[in-house]
Amino acid sequence: MSQSAVVLPYLVVNHGPPGPIEVDRAWRTQDANGDELSVVPGDPIPAWDANRVFTLERTLTLSLEGMQAMVGADLAGAVDVVVFSATAGRLARQELFRRSLSDEDRQEIAVHVRPDSTRLAQDLELTTGVYVVRPVRAGGPLSPARPGSILWELTEQFRLEGGRARLAMYELPFSRSFPGDGIDMADFHVQLADEPDAPIEQGIAVYVNDERREFMEQLHRPRSEGARRFRESVVRRALIAAVQTDWFCEPLPERPDALLATVRRWTGAVWPGWTPEQVRAHVVSSFSLADAQVESWLHRMRPSIQQERAP
Amino acid sequence: MNLWPRLPLPFAARQAEALAGRTLEDLEAQPWDSAELKRFAPTGGNPVPNAILRRLRDGLSLRAKEAGFPDLRSRHRAKFDDAARRFLLAFDIPFGEAIRAETWAWLAVHLVPHLVAWRFPERDGRQSVERYAGKLYRNAIGRLWYQATQLDLGTSAQDRLSHLSVLGEDQLVALFERPSLGAAPGVAQTVARMWHGLRPADRDEALFRESMKLLLVQARICRLDVLGQDDLDAIVRRSMQVTAERMGLPAQWDAGRRH
């Protein structure tokens, strides 16, 4: 798998230590009782719902001289630290925090954001960046000089709703919801959206047949063997279905949690080093073997795959 | 807070396909208020009362009728879009619910399928499924809410949606189907204002489309969101000017407008 990345036409500040910008990996936040705890990218915002008031805090330590040396420009008085939020698959973006850097060399910025829960949906993406906001005197042709230049940027995603990301699961009477499809007696059904760049929570819908009482009883016991097998079967069925879609071999979308990106991550784990075209041909020509390979991978990866995106 | 019903997109797509061939009258008569048809977020509020859903349905239906519904030959569908945007902007749908495509999928499939079928009629016996079950900015009704919300100049403005008077469907697609530009109201409104400031004769559809492509490239190397208003104005205007020069088109801004 390959992903494209933007190469900026000017010098930037390197990520990672040792460097002129250091940032805590974790954000400090509060649980439902107000007690402090840490969250790292990929974590859920604890006990989140649309009424939840919460803050996220951490410290960013910068060396102005270090940044100037790295990009070859006089940045004094021209740089802001800004944090943006994006939500609902990046459909809504807003600024949450901004602080101008002073002329001192070493600066500690206490970043404090309070996303408005009523304006969040599905996910919370925070982008922390150090940006040129006023014209600077460039020391060379590759120095960032214009307002808007991105000196350093870090984008992190957090999950919302119910404590962990879930596939949308709907309990329906199949005889009335899917009349004529011949699945009245099926336990569950998985549908994929024709939107490979949609977040996976939107891109895969799982329907469970509430007319199958015995199955439903097992499903409502999360630790039961039936519930475990169900979770694995959903991933397996979604994976096999996705491989056969028109979009499976398309270039990867930017979002790592997009439907296509997620499915390709799964197939990359089952068949390491294979191209999407090879995977598709294999699934079509040797379905039974491919299905068993997926099942084997699921058993091998049981804890991580279930944590990642199981319903 | 009121939670709004949702329909998963794959399921909505299937239901939309099943609507093909039905008359507008039939779709309008379809029941929508049964609890079985609704799924809500598990926490965070209470299910929106049917009375509010009915008010939304009636309000949209009224605006459609004023624009020629149910005449499928009506040439006034843009009038519906304009009136519906203003109505939706004033309607109190919580942002966190309205920004979800699944919310609009439910509305399109169950609450107002007759309006979707009228606004985007079937072609060759096939429904335009994305208008029921597509992304927010493709949904027949959801896109109107999104456009209005992002271009809203606020209650202090004489006309909160004044920019929409100069943005046609083509421009709205070019702007809002690119989240790098459309997802930040400040950026979207600056683009709209610059376009609004251009002399009417110079507002060429191809110019807008191509200048948005250039602005999108700019947005990859320059974080538009951090710019002050003057810098943002300059970069948007420059994208339009450079594009116009490349295309051999005129691009002059009216002196009387702030741009």
pLDDT range class, residue A309, cuts 50, 70, 90: very low
Report, as an integer, the average pLDDT of A100-113.
Answer: 94
Token pair listed for A77: 């008085």
Which residues of B fall within a CB distance of 8 Å from A84?
A: 225
pLDDT range class, residue A17, cuts 50, 70, 90: low
The answer to whether A198 faces chain B, any CB pair under 8 Å, is: yes
CA distance to partner chain B, nearest, from residue A297 (Å): 26
- At residue A254, does pLDDT exceed 50? yes
Contact A121 B97 (CB under 8 A): yes
Q: Tell which of A161, A202, A234, A245 to mutate to test the B interface (max B CBs under 10 Å).
A: A202
| Chain A residues 55-114 with a CB less than 8 Å from chain B | 80, 82, 84, 86-95, 98
CA distance to partner chain A, nearest, from residue B223 (Å): 5
d(Cα B63, Cα B106) in Å, to the nearest integer?
20
- At residue A258, does pLDDT exceed 90? no
Of the candidates B39, B179, B223, the beta carbon closest to that of A91 is on B179
Of the candidates A9, A88, A148, the beta carbon closest to that of B100 is on A88
Token pair listed for A30: 């509060």
Collapse the DSSP code of A230 into the 3-class scheme (helix H, G, I; strand E, B; otherwise coil) and give the result: helix
Token pair listed for B223: 């974080």
Contact A170 B39 (CB under 8 A): yes
CA distance to partner chain A, nearest, from residue B221 (Å): 6
Report, as an integer, the average pLDDT of A8-32.
Answer: 86
pLDDT of residue B44: 62
pLDDT of residue B47: 86
pLDDT of residue A244: 93
- At residue B27, does pLDDT exceed 60? yes
pLDDT of residue A311: 39
CA distance to partner chain B, nearest, from residue A188 (Å): 13
- Kindly report which listed range (A104-113, A123-132, A223-232) carries the lowest average pLDDT score: A223-232
pLDDT digits (tens, 9 = 90+) for B219-254: 999 999 999 999 999 999 999 999 999 999 998 988
- At residue A215, does pLDDT exceed 50? yes
- At residue A163, does pLDDT exceed 70? no
pLDDT of residue A37: 92
- At residue B33, does pLDDT exceed 90? no
Which residues of B fall within a CB distance of 8 Å from A195?
A: 9, 134-135
If interface means Cβ-Cβ distance under 8 Å, which residues of chain B face chain A? 1, 3, 8-11, 13-14, 39, 41-45, 94-97, 99-102, 133-137, 146, 179, 183-184, 220-228, 231, 235
Which residues of B fall within a CB distance of 8 Å from A194?
A: 13
Which residues of B fall within a CB distance of 8 Å from A149?
A: 221-223
- At residue A201, does pLDDT exceed 80? no
d(Cα B228, Cα A124) in Å, to the nearest integer?
25
For residues B104 and B112, is the Cβ–Cβ distance under 8 A? no
* Residue B159 CB-density burial (10 A; 0-12 exposed, 13-18 middle, 19+ buried): exposed
d(Cα B161, Cα A82) in Å, to the nearest integer?
29
Report, as an integer, the average pLDDT of A30-36.
Answer: 84
- At residue B43, does pLDDT exceed 70? no
Which residues of A fall within a CB distance of 8 Å from B224?
A: 148
Which residues of A fall within a CB distance of 8 Å from B226?
A: 80, 82, 95, 98, 129, 131, 133, 147-148
Q: Tell which of B1, B6, B9, B15 to mutate to test the A interface (max A CBs under 10 Å).
A: B9
Token pair listed for B219: 């947005």
pLDDT of residue A16: 66
Mean pLDDT score across all residues of chain B? 91
Of residues A79 and B78, which shows the higher confidence score?
A79
pTM: 0.83
Can you give the C-alpha Rg of chain A in angstroms? Answer: 23
Closest CA to A187 of A166, A213, A221, A220: A213
Which residues of A fall within a CB distance of 8 Å from B146?
A: 91
Encoded amino acid at B246, one letter: R
pLDDT of residue A1: 37
pLDDT of residue A305: 46
Q: Tell which of A99, A195, A247, A254 to mutate to test the B interface (max B CBs under 10 Å).
A: A195
Mean pLDDT score across all residues of chain A? 87
Q: How many CB atoms lie within 10 A of CB B171?
A: 21
Residue with tokens 């991978």: A297
C-alpha distances in Å from residue A110, one per residue of A24, A100, A128, A150: 11, 12, 12, 20
Of the candidates A50, A119, A193, the beta carbon closest to that of B45 is on A50
Contact A91 B136 (CB under 8 A): yes
Burial A230-257 (b: 16+ CB within 10 A, else e): bbbbbbbbbbbbbbebebbeeebbebeb
DSSP state string for A12-26: -PPPSSSSSEEE-SS
pLDDT digits (tens, 9 = 90+) for B103-140: 999 999 999 999 999 999 988 777 789 999 999 999 99
Token pair listed for B191: 């683009």
Contact B96 A168 (CB under 8 A): no
pLDDT digits (tens, 9 = 90+) for A286-298: 999 999 999 999 8
| Chain A residues 212-271 with a CB less than 8 Å from chain B | none
Contact A92 B183 (CB under 8 A): yes
Percent of chain A with pLDDT over 70: 91
